[in-house]
């Protein structure tokens, strides 16, 4: 029996279209070789939406996102739109999706493929076998807190301010997601905060400890964010699942990404539940729009393709299809194929589209 699902794609800006084209090849292969019937529509977000409508995300597109089964995002932003006011910049479209769809839980895995261990700036013995999950609270904290803004104090002096705020309920729900994730892995959870300085994260730690009583099989420890940054570089394999605030998660996940050798390898999932009980979710590479390499056919599409893998795991609850995609990406890497960001002398350099084709060639050997 066919399983019909809808996907809204938001290729976005910069390299977004280039990498999504390669993910689309994988989606087309799945459509042609499995019981899935994936109905894929493309919409505008970010700078491309601003150029057409004046808004980083239109209400019409937002309504389509509310009812689709999953969202795939490429990347948003670029220097072309940096002069706009904050409320009109491309990134506001992304933040609007997170807030309106209540995508409060962001999953950012950092996995080192064996064949890419040499691409990391750390010694192989430090990162070999690394499989880390950072769970970032995504709809609260300083990125959304009010009041915020810039005020003129006098002729030559301005004041910029943001508000870091969390409610116990916001903390409780991300904590539950983190503990359940830890239960499905190695039953170890590290909560990262700055409770010695910030009252909001003092509350964070208190609520995390309260929630931990419901998960006695999970070993919980706490770490200040400055120490966690150091430990990620010194001994990353001490961690299995990390849960942290919006801003700390943003920073730590980018730090963790370089343990793997390239931002171009890391997917992410942002998940929430609507008032009707429907699971809302958006999948995207961790990297940005990379306008400096846009149009040069050198962007790495593997994070976008691996985001499709996460979509099948978390939205479609199909671990088998998710693992098939990961397995064949790994085969491509084991064959020595590389885009520029992960290239070394002994490997074969591929363009963006050639890398997508290489993944498809491996998938052709799968028997579904």
List pLDDT tens digits, range 90-147.
999 999 999 999 999 999 999 998 888 877 888 888 998 899 999 999 999 999 999 9
Dihedral (Cα; 55, 57, 59, 61), 10-degree rounding: 130
List pLDDT tens digits, range 149-203.
999 999 999 999 999 999 999 999 999 999 999 999 999 999 999 999 999 999 9
Of 315, 306, 302, which Cα lies nearest the Cα of 353? 302
Contact (Cβ atoms closer than 8 angstroms) between residue 218 and residue 190: no
Domain coordinates of the chain in residue numbers? 1-113+263-363
- At 119 the pLDDT is 78
- At 274 the pLDDT is 61
Q: Of these residues, 13, 69, 193, 250, which one is catalytic?
A: 250
Q: Of these residues, 25, 96, 194, 313, which one is catalytic?
A: 194
The pair of structure tokens assigned to 56 is 């980083």
List pLDDT tens digits, range 257-271.
888 877 788 999 999
- At 277 the pLDDT is 65
Q: Of these residues, 36, 143, 166, 215, which one is catalytic?
A: 143
Mean pLDDT of the region 58-71: 97
- At 88 the pLDDT is 93
Mean pLDDT of the region 80-98: 93
Whether 131 is catalytic is no
Which residue is listed with tokens 């996460």?
A: 310
Distance CA 303, CA 265 (A): 4
Mean pLDDT of the region 27-50: 97
- At 345 the pLDDT is 87
Mean pLDDT of the region 66-71: 96
pTM (predicted TM-score): 0.91
Distance CA 35, CA 91 (A): 36
Whether 226 is catalytic is yes
Distance CA 325, CA 319 (A): 10
Whether 143 is catalytic is yes
List pLDDT tens digits, range 271-301.
997 656 678 999 999 889 999 999 999 999 9
**Given 3.30.930.10, 1.25.40.10, 3.40.718.10, 3.30.60.50, which CATH number is that of 1-113+263-363?**
3.40.718.10
Q: Of these residues, 102, 240, 254, 357, which one is catalytic?
A: 254
Mean pLDDT of the region 79-99: 93
Residue 86 has pLDDT above 80, yes or no: yes
Mean pLDDT of the region 230-245: 96
Whether 250 is catalytic is yes
List pLDDT tens digits, range 297-347.
999 999 999 999 999 999 999 999 999 999 999 999 999 999 999 998 889
Distance CA 186, CA 132 (A): 10
Whether 357 is catalytic is no
Contact (Cβ atoms closer than 8 angstroms) between residue 174 and residue 134: no
């Amino acid at each position: 029996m066919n399983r019909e699902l809808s996907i809204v794609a938001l290729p976005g800006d910069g390299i977004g279209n280039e990498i999504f084209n390669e993910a689309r090849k994988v989606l087309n292969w799945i459509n042609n070789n499995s019981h899935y019937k994936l109905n894929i529509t493309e919409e505008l977000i970010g700078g491309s939406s601003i150029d057409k409508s004046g808004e980083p995300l239109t209400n019409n597109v937002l309504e389509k996102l509310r009812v689709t089964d999953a969202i795939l995002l490429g990347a948003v932003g670029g220097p072309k739109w940096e002069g706009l006011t904050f409320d009109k910049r491309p990134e506001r479209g992304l933040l609007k999706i997170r807030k309106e769809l209540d995508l409060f839980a962001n999953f950012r895995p950092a996995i080192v493929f064996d064949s890419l261990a040499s691409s990391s700036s750390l010694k192989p013995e430090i990162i070999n076998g690394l499989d880390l999950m950072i769970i970032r609270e995504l709809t609260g904290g300083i990125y959304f807190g009010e009041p915020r803004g810039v005020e003129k104090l006098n002729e030559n002096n301005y004041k910029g301010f943001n508000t870091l705020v969390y409610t116990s309920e916001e903390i409780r729900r991300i904590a539950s997601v983190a503990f359940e994730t830890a239960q499905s892995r190695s039953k170890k959870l590290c909560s990262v905060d700055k409770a010695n300085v910030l009252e909001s994260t003092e509350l964070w730690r208190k609520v995390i400890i309260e929630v931990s009583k419901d998960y006695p099989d999970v070993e919980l420890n706490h770490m200040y964010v400055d120490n966690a940054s150091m430990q990620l570089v010194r001994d990353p394999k001490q961690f299995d699942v990390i849960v942290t605030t919006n801003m700390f998660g943003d920073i730590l996940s980018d730090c963790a990404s370089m343990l793997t050798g390239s931002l171009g390898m890391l997917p992410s999932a942002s998940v929430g539940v609507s008032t009707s009980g429907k699971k809302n979710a958006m999948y995207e590479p961790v990297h940005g729009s990379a306008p400096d390499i846009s149009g040069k056919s050198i962007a790495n599409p593997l994070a976008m393709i691996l985001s499709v893998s996460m979509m099948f795991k978390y939205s479609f609850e199909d671990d088998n299809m998710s693992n098939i995609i990961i397995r064949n990406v790994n085969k491509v890497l084991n064959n020595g194929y590389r885009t520029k960001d992960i290239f070394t002398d002994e490997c074969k350099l591929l363009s963006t589209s050639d890398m997508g084709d290489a993944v498809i060639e491996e998938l052709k050997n799968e028997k579904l």
